[in-house]
Amino acid sequence: MQPHVLITGGSGFIGRNVTRCLLQHGIRVRILDTTEPPSDLASEVEWVQGCILLQKPLQAALDGCTDVIHLAAELGIGRSQAEPLRFFEVNVQGTVHLLDTLQKTHHRVRRVVLAGSMTVYGEGRYVCPGCGEAGPVQRRPDRLVQKQWEPCCTRCERDLVSRPTPETFPAQAANIYAHTKLSQEGILHLLAEQAGIEPVVLRLFNVYGPGQSLENAYTGVIAIFTSCLLMEIAPLVFEDGNQRRDFVFVEDVSEAFYRAWATPGIGGRTFNIGSGEGHSLNEILGLLRGLTAGRASPRILYQYRKGDARHVVACTENSLSGLGWSPRTPLGEGLGRTVRSAREDIRTPLNLEKMMGELRRRGILLEQGASAAVSRSNA
Ligand code: UD1
């Protein structure tokens, strides 16, 4: 059977890259998205314009397809706490709708690959230097107010040390976005058999690269910092900037989706898609300041954005052995390409003041008198 892959949410940052990757592998692609087709893809893919929550466009999109890559979702921890209903509608209901439609129709779909998220690991895996494995941890508000950012051991109160998180680590949803991503996974596994499909989940770590929005103050931190530095706006840094993330380049992520589609015998499995390396925001800022020659100094807010994890890094053994996948793009090269592309694309400065105002109004910041720093940074 000639492969014909449906990508839901295919016009987004990750979706466009996954589409290009599948096309390069000679696979026929159809996209279901609420937007019009972008000019660079219009002639190469089939396009169904519509919302995943609506029956007609979803059925039209699924008609004749052999596999689905399910990317259609609202994203971001900050925004999810401000718009919980929208996040549950699109992410949870959208996934139920996809599986329910497959269950009720005669289809040819073999596999559904879901874009999951590392946000389901909460704070991720830690060990205590004295007591060993810490299990799932939560950061205590009384410590966060004292600017003690590291999670501590519940037994001896020493600061814990972050370790790469494997897929077997117990999932815990510490914010609305994480709840919706965990629900998506659960629904996919629960309804897979009835729907007659093989479920595969890729838990994406912090994806970055050219094409990520430069005008959305709630997008990934690398895009935000790049945008700020090119526009000479001071980047705002939550906590102290020493929190670490596992940044993975979007083209490598696209290749992981291709492998998740192509690899036989992986139905029912979940894979971390990250680099396996942690980099602090301060390190990222240093590299980006060099690449952009941006002069604006970052403002360290010493404020906690509710729902944020401290350090999360992928254990990548399973994706290497199961998918034969490991990322190819070193951080320096990925950031360089991101900055070069951003220089061409950037139009309007980010409104960080508005974003901070929204977070504050909705009680998403653990307040400790950083308002002065914020207003200074946007002066
Ligand atoms: C990100 C994605 C999420 C995805 C996850 C794993 C976004 C918005 N979030 O979550 O959808 O599931 O990776 O792929 O793309 N920060 C600042 N200043 C800013 C913005 C962020 O200091 O202006 C900090 C945050 O407080 C956090 C870190 O940067 O400590 C990373 O934040 P963010 O880029 O939003 O990513 P995640 O929340 O890790």
Give the CATH number of the domain where residue 290 resides. 3.40.50.720
Confirm whether 83 is domain-assigned: yes
Distance 353 CA to ligand 1 centre (A): 17
Q: Kindly state the percentage of the chain with pLDDT values over 90.
A: 89
Angle (nearest 5°) at CA 236 between 234 and 238:
160
Could you tell me what percentage of the chain is helix, strand and coil, using 3-state DSSP and rounding each to the nearest 5?
40, 20, 40
Per-residue pLDDT for 378 more than 60?
no
Residue 376 confidence (pLDDT): 40
Cβ neighbors of 255 (< 8 A, separation 6 or more) are: 21, 325, 328
The answer, yes or no, to whether any atom of ligand 1 lies below 6 A from the CB of 119, is yes
The answer, yes or no, to whether any atom of ligand 1 lies below 6 A from the CB of 75, is yes
Question: Between 378 and 61, whose confidence is greater?
Answer: 61
Q: Read off the pLDDT of residues 161-185 as tens digits, 9 standing for 90 and up.
A: 999 999 999 999 989 999 999 999 9
Residue ranges with strand state E in 223-375: 236-237, 244-245, 247-249, 270-273, 279-280, 299-300, 304-305, 311-312, 365-366
CA neighbor of 248 nearest in space, from 180, 328, 184, 344: 328
Helix (H, G, I), strand (E, B) or coil at 204: strand
Residue 10 confidence (pLDDT): 97
Q: Kindly state the percentage of the chain with pLDDT values over 70.
A: 97
Per-residue pLDDT for 369 more than 80?
no
Residue range(s) defining the domain that contains residue 366: 73-378
Ligand 1 atom at minimal distance to the Cα of residue 217 = 23
Q: Read off the pLDDT of residues 26-72 as tens digits, 9 standing for 90 and up.
A: 999 999 999 998 888 889 999 999 999 999 999 999 999 999 999 99
Per-residue pLDDT for 372 more than 60?
no
Per-residue pLDDT for 373 more than 50?
no
Residue 41 confidence (pLDDT): 84
d(CA 93, CA 267): 23
Determine which of 242-246, 266-270, 357-361 has the lowest per-residue pLDDT on average. 357-361
Per-residue pLDDT for 131 more than 70?
yes
Distance 309 CA to ligand 1 centre (A): 9
Confirm whether 1 is domain-assigned: no
User: Which residue has a Cα nearest atom 27 of ligand 1?
Assistant: 308
133 beta partners: 127
User: Which residue has a Cα nearest atom 35 of ligand 1?
Assistant: 220
How many domains does the structure of the chain reveal?
A: 1
* Residue tagged 């087709």 (tokens): 37
Confirm whether 254 is domain-assigned: yes
Ligand 1 atom at minimal distance to the Cα of residue 181 = 12
Confirm whether 137 is domain-assigned: yes
* Average pLDDT of the segment spanning 215-236: 96
Confirm whether 41 is domain-assigned: no
The answer, yes or no, to whether any atom of ligand 1 lies below 6 A from the CB of 305, is yes
The answer, yes or no, to whether any atom of ligand 1 lies below 6 A from the CB of 220, is yes
For residue 8, give both structure tokens. 């839901």
Confirm whether 357 is domain-assigned: yes
Confirm whether 356 is domain-assigned: yes
For residue 264, give both structure tokens. 């036989």
Confirm whether 18 is domain-assigned: no
Distance 308 CA to ligand 1 centre (A): 8
Ligand 1 atom at minimal distance to the Cα of residue 219 = 8
d(CA 101, CA 52): 11
Per-residue pLDDT for 232 more than 90?
yes
The answer, yes or no, to whether any atom of ligand 1 lies below 6 A from the CB of 359, is no
Helix (H, G, I), strand (E, B) or coil at 352: helix
